[in-house]
Chain A
Amino acid sequence: MTRVLAYLRRPWSWYVLAPILLVGVGVIVPVIYLVLRAFEADANTLGDLVFRTRNLHLFVNTLLLAAGVLALGSAIAFPMAWLTTRTHTRFRRVFTLFGVLPLAIPGYIMAYVLLATTGSYGTLARLFGIEIPRIGGYAGAVLALTLATFPYLFLNLRTALLGLDPALEETARSLGSGTRRVLLRVIAPQLRPAFSAGALLVGLHVLGDFGVVSLMRFETFSYALYLQYAASYDRVYAACLALMLLALTGIALLLEARLLRGLLLHRTGSGPPRRIRRTSLGAWKGPAYLFLLGTATLSVGIPATTVAYWMFRTEPGSLADLAQALWASLSASAPAALLATALALPIAYLGVRSPSRPVRALERVAWFGYATPPLAFALALIFFSLRSIPWAYQTLGLLIVAYGLHFMAEAVGPIRSALYQAPPSMEEAARTLGRSPLRAFLEATFPLLRRGLLVGVAFVFLSAMKELPITFLLSPIGFQTLAVNVWGHTNEALFGAAAPYALTIMLISSLFVGLLLMQSGRPMRS
């Protein structure tokens, strides 16, 4: 603690202090709110609720689900990242885009689609006569959540793979190591920060998911938590459960920090990095294309066609409403993505470069905002903004800040991966040449972070486009995003009416992400 204080007493510049303060407040406020609410609980009832055996059952279910999703997600993301960065596979850009697009599909829509595709009255059975049993339960939840979240792993890994210095691999090769050995002993260890950032996002996503698990009828911790709000309108016990969920997050964060301790991954040599050498696939070409196509079909193709099918079954809705919803979505999500990335940059920088461990711990804090269930997060912001800044309550500005704080952690990972690969020596050299710290950073390090920053922007944008509880409660009145429309219609089983909104989310997201990827695909300035 004293070390933190000592460190904080250093003359900090506003551009470091301001984001840290904002993030600190934004993350601590919900936790304080939850603790306040939890203390209102009647001790006996609370005890019964917290220590009942059902919680253990939910806990085990949650862990099983997280493990399943991570395993299946890695099995998709690793080969996909490698194929799209290190091989001569054609249409790499297109496949990369398809590896990101599932993020544009709300998880519950993914679940609806899987449910609507399978079963005796599913689209597969009705259109093609292929009858497979209705998917659901653990398998259904793992599949839907994996398809919805594997891009977090994929993009993090891809960013890292693109930034690796090929010299290391070439050295290993020249010393007689085969492809597999290079992959396992040289490349894999260097992907650790990227993998752990992606895995953390996937894990936290699974911990907090409600839409998918409830539709797939698989009961997890967050499922129970939402039932508390939904069934009994009970803010108090829900707060207790949310705190238990945060405790779980805390453990995951500690584990991740251990995994990354003492990591040094940047180049130390001088001169520009060598170009990446791509591998030819040879006999593996066929299976590789099959794998890429199969994943794209499952994760994007089937959802998009199913939703389009819903749309053409019903009469078209109003185009003006659609345009209005699109504008609402964009006007909140785009600034939020920029804000979140701007906040994540100094946090990630401190996390990687700071000499003292307590300060590096600040970076961990950012993840709590992400792990706080969005509904609890929104309620906390209602609670505090009405007491402190009532004039900002339910304004677009506050909504953007709320999105930014909640989703910031998604941007931290890719930026952090890029920072691990950026050599500090250049920045140090710039400092010795008389540049101020900020200028040294902007001129020497910032250009190297471009890919990480762009991926961070993309992640937050895609998440904000789908967000619901925060939008419901904190948006300006009458503010109806695409996601709110999708939810409203599907909730009434009016899938046809929901379809145009869902398709617009996918379309706009793919355009946006496509643009970003084109940027990040350009060779890096060195």
Chain B
Amino acid sequence: MPRTYASAVAILLALCIGACGESEPQTVVIYSGRSESLAGPILERFQAQTGIAVEVRYGNTAQLAVALSEEGIQTEADLFWAQDAGALGAVQEEGLPATLPDSLLDRVPEYFRNGSGTWVATSGRARVLAYSPERTTAETRPASIFDLAQEPYAGRVGWAPANGSFQAHVTALRTIAGDEATQNWLRTMQENGTKNYSNNRTIVQAIADGEIDLGLPNHYYLYRFLSEDPDFPVEQQFFAAGDAGNLINVAGIAMLASSTRQTAALKLIDFLLSEEAQQYFVQETYEYAVIEGIESPAGLPVANQVVPDIDLDALSDLDGTLDMLREGGLL
């Protein structure tokens, strides 16, 4: 009910501004945790097509989320575009985002939006197993993420406990396999000499440099390395279909309730969910599209063929995961 109400208000606003605000040059202000190299080109296209000026504060997703919480309703931002769902959740906990209209939310499968309709995914990033093709073979690579804790992989695996995507993944493991099994896995992984990295790209680099043989990064970093160096000696794959090791995380966008330029802001979200923008994410940033009918990036399998059945909202218990990681001395 509140959502329909909000969307009705939004539509009314849209009509009003559409009717009487034509002469005003419109702008929209975004706090973007997505860096300019990824977000800039598509925002420029939006600006060119709609004439709405886009002003962007680029920064680190987590830092922008904390800053938004500190600014509260005094923020100048209309939109918050985040690299991960965790940051959107943190902003939502402060009660800052507005509920998005159904017309936008319905554009994506339920998997790609949150239950209360305060944010919607703009692209998907898969969790994968990256490996060195020289030091592993198809037979020796594990079929399940849980196998990585076994003896043959001792000291050969890297992960990034501080990374939002990794944490979302641990939450998924808890949902799928239960807290006890996950805690067990985290402990045995540590005992097995798994190395901590600060982020996904350093995992991939470390595999190339021979420091580790296998790692758990997001899927698209490898393509960045390959675009600068086609011989880059790292490959990646999913675990066996349905394994908890396969997961799609999202980058997503929320509109702030305090925004005074909601029409323009909604237009921008609408554009990011358009076929054009989604094609851009697949082709230029190698991410998964969040709307139906667009192929997977760079020859990867279609997401729902490999990903276990899980609800993204179930990934909201970040606190439980953080407690678990802290208890294990990983944070």
Contacts and interface: CB of A to CB of B under 8 A. Distances in A.
Contacts of B211: 119, 134, 136
B255 to A, nearest CB: 17
A248 interface: no
Given A217-B198, A382-B67, A121 B233 contact: yes
Interface residues of B, number: 56
Contacts of B74: 386, 390, 393
Interface string A306-336: 0000100110000000000000000000000
B35 A492 contact: yes
Contact of A375 (B37, B63, B229, B233): B63
A51 to B, nearest CB: 13
B274 interface: no
A232 B322 contact: yes
B36 A485 contact: yes
Nearest to A376: B66
A215 B57 contact: no
B202 interface: yes
B156 to A, nearest CB: 14
Given A480-B58, A494-B37, A235 B209 contact: no
A134 B62 contact: no
Contacts of A378: 67
Nearest to B233: A121
A491 interface: yes
A121 B36 contact: no
B1 interface: no
Contacts of B309: none
Contacts of A134: 206, 209-211
B201 A493 contact: yes
Interface stretch (B102-110, B142-150, B220-228): B220-228
B293 interface: no
Contact of B329 (A54, A116, A492): A54
Interface string B297-325: 00000000000000000000011001001
A448 B97 CA distance: 57
A473 B63 contact: yes
B151 interface: no
A122 B209 contact: yes
A494 B65 CA distance: 24
B66 A233 contact: yes
A289 interface: no
A122 to B, nearest CB: 6
A129 to B, nearest CB: 15
A521 B76 CA distance: 48
A232 B163 CA distance: 10
B198 A314 contact: no
Interface string B9-38: 000000000000000000001000001111
A379 B63 CA distance: 9
Contact of B195 (A217, A478, A485): A217
A211 to B, nearest CB: 9
A394 interface: yes
B210 A231 contact: no
A493 B66 contact: no
B196 interface: yes
A134 B209 CA distance: 7
A254 interface: no
Given A121-B233, A379-B67, A473 B228 contact: no
Interface string B161-204: 01010010000000000000000000000000001111101101
Interface residues of A, number: 55
A473 B87 contact: no
A411 B35 CA distance: 33
Contacts of B70: 235, 379, 382-383, 386
Name the residue in A233, A375, A472 with the highest tally of chain B Cβ atoms < 10 Å from its Cβ: A233
B66 A121 contact: no
B47 interface: no
A489 B228 CA distance: 13
A168 to B, nearest CB: 49
A525 to B, nearest CB: 46
A235 B66 contact: yes
B205 interface: yes
Interface in A475-494: 475, 477-478, 480, 484-485, 487-489, 491-494
Interface of A: 49, 54, 115-116, 118-122, 134, 136, 214-215, 217, 219, 224, 227, 229-233, 235, 310, 313-314, 375, 378-379, 382-383, 386, 390, 393-394, 468-469, 472-473, 475, 477-478, 480, 484-485, 487-489, 491-497
The 7 residue pairs across chains A and B that have the minimum distance between CB atoms? A119-B209, A472-B59, A233-B90, A214-B198, A488-B35, A120-B210, A230-B62
6 contacts: A214-B198, A230-B164, A233-B87, A375-B63, A469-B63, A478-B55
Given A477-B29, A497-B37, 20 more contacts: A49-B326, A115-B209, A121-B210, A134-B206, A136-B211, A214-B162, A215-B198, A227-B331, A229-B63, A231-B162, A233-B86, A383-B70, A386-B70, A386-B71, A472-B58, A477-B57, A477-B76, A478-B57, A480-B58, A493-B201
